[in-house]
């Protein structure tokens, strides 16, 4: 019988460790393949602003070498500054790097021809007139006229007239008050009248008249200034009020100014100005009240200004007449009251003004 010989084989190595390692490698590769690469961040940008400041050489703090006596020598010694020099003499390298001294430059504002042209075209059409300055003389005391199409007239000064308003809108400027006459003497003189008010626009009112100047005490038998007339309206506005007459210490008082007329289509007449007060002299008298302004087609007439009462020996002044009412509708203005007579004999009261029609 054949004897079976046992076959001895080496034990099979376990495949589990290798299988686990392979799975781990495959998983790692899959994980690396599926990862999104990080987005690189944008590089940081740093901005630098360089400024150039020019300073005049030789001025206080303008030359960085002014405090030195050997120059701003970058390589090698500088040269000693001569007596009375503003700054040391530089060596060639320092002069080449720093440059020659320059004065500060001023850049003018850029021109805008379109804006300048627009302003030049619009300015004469719209805008208010200029007021006269307080220290004016002569024609410079008249207020400026407004723009052609619209605006208020400027105010007058020192007896100057008020400026006229524009065509469609705006009021006339007020007249300036009169100033005393500097040349008054014992024989008297006439003080300055108040300026007339400017005319209003189609939809505006006339300006007020200025007040007359008061006569001074040493003016003798002089005349105080009359009140200025109120300005007229040219459309639908009201007339301006008349100015008050000036007072007189020894002479004749000023008369009140007439009120301006209302607009020809609609508007009321302006009120007349009141008279000034007379002095305490036998030749003195009180002023007359100003007449009220007339209305146009529709509107009421302005009231007349009041006369002033007489002094102890001077008569009272008559009141002004009332203005006429409109031709289609409106009432006439009442007449101004006359002033009372003085306490002495012969001092009469003023007459009352007539009412408008």
As a whole number of angstroms, the distance between CA 330 and CA 48 comes to 80
Cβ partners under 8 Å of residue 76, min gap 6: 91, 93
Burial class (CB in 10 A: 0-12, 13-18, 19+), 95: middle
Give mean pLDDT, residues 10-39: 53
Residue 215 near residue 246 (C-beta atoms within 8 A): yes
Give mean pLDDT, residues 40-58: 52
Which residue(s) pair with 329 in the sheet? 298
Band the pLDDT of 149: cuts 50, 70, 90. very high
Break the chain into its structural domains and give their ranges: 145-180+188-357
Reply yes or no on whether the pLDDT at 107 is more than 60: yes
* Higher local confidence (pLDDT), 88 or 227: 227
Give mean pLDDT, residues 287-292: 92
Reply yes or no on whether the pLDDT at 166 is more than 60: yes
Each residue's pLDDT tens digit, 294-328: 999 999 999 999 988 877 666 788 899 999 999 89
Weakest mean pLDDT among 214-218, 247-251, 335-339: 214-218
State residue 215's pLDDT score.
80
Q: Which residue intervals of the chain are DSSP H helices? A: 16-34, 92-98, 113-122
* Higher local confidence (pLDDT), 224 or 43: 224
Each residue's pLDDT tens digit, 259-268: 999 999 999 9
Which residue, among 245, 128, 134, has the nearest Cα to 198 in the 3D structure?
128
Reply yes or no on whether the pLDDT at 89 is more than 90: no
The mean pLDDT value of the chain amounts to: 75
Reply yes or no on whether the pLDDT at 226 is more than 90: yes
Place of tokens 């701003």: 72
Residue-level length of the chain: 357
State residue 248's pLDDT score.
83
pLDDT above 90 covers a percentage of the chain that reads 40
State residue 1's pLDDT score.
42
Weakest mean pLDDT among 5-14, 170-179, 244-253: 5-14
- Can you give the pTM of this predicted structure? 0.65
Each residue's pLDDT tens digit, 184-220: 544 456 778 999 999 999 999 999 999 999 887 655 5
Distances (CA, A) of 212 to 71, 119, 137, 298: 77, 39, 17, 31
Which residue(s) pair with 252 in the sheet? 223, 285
Band the pLDDT of 28: cuts 50, 70, 90. low
Which residue, among 357, 297, 296, has the nearest Cα to 332 in the 3D structure?
357
Reply yes or no on whether the pLDDT at 113 is more than 70: yes
Reply yes or no on whether the pLDDT at 232 is more than 50: yes
State residue 347's pLDDT score.
46
Cβ partners under 8 Å of residue 132, min gap 6: 140, 141, 142, 143, 144, 154, 155, 156, 157, 158, 160, 176
């Amino acid at each position: 019988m054949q004897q079976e010989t046992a076959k001895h084989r080496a034990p099979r190595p376990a495949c589990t460790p290798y299988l686990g390692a392979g799975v781990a490698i495959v998983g790692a590769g899959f994980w690396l393949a599926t990862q999104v690469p990080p987005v690189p961040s944008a590089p940081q940008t740093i901005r630098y602003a360089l400024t150039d400041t020019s300073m005049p050489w030789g001025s206080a703090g303008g030359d960085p070498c002014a405090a030195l006596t050997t120059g701003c020598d970058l390589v090698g010694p500088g040269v000693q500054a001569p007596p009375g020099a503003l700054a040391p003499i530089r060596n060639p390298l320092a002069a080449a790097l720093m440059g020659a001294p320059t004065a500060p430059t001023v850049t003018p504002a850029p021109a805008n021809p379109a804006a300048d042209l627009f302003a030049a075209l619009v300015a004469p059409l719209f805008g208010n007139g200029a007021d006269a300055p307080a220290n004016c003389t002569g024609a410079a005391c008249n207020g400026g006229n407004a723009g052609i199409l619209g605006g208020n007239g400027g105010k007058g000064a020192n007896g100057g007239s008020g400026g006229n308003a524009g065509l469609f809108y705006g009021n006339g400027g007020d007249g300036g008050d009169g100033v005393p006459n500097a040349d008054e003497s014992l024989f008297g003189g006439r003080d300055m009248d108040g300026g007339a008010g400017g005319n209003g626009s189609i939809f505006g009112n006339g300006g007020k008249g200025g007040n007359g100047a008061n006569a001074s005490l040493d003016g003798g038998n002089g005349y105080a200034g009359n009140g200025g007339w109120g300005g007229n309206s040219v459309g639908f506005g009201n007339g301006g009020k008349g100015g008050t007459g000036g007072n007189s210490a020894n002479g004749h008082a000023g008369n009140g100014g007439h009120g301006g007329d209302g607009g020809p289509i609609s508007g009321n007449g302006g009120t007349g100005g009141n008279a000034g007060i007379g002095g305490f002299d036998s030749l003195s008298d009180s002023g007359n009240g100003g007449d009220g302004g007339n209305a146009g087609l529709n509107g009421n007439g302005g009231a007349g200004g009041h006369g002033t009462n007489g002094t102890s020996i001077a008569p009272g002044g008559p009141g002004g007449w009332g203005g006429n009412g409109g031709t289609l509708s409106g009432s006439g203005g009442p007449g101004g009251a006359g002033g009372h007579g003085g306490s002495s004999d012969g001092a009469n009261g003023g007459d009352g003004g007539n009412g408008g029609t």
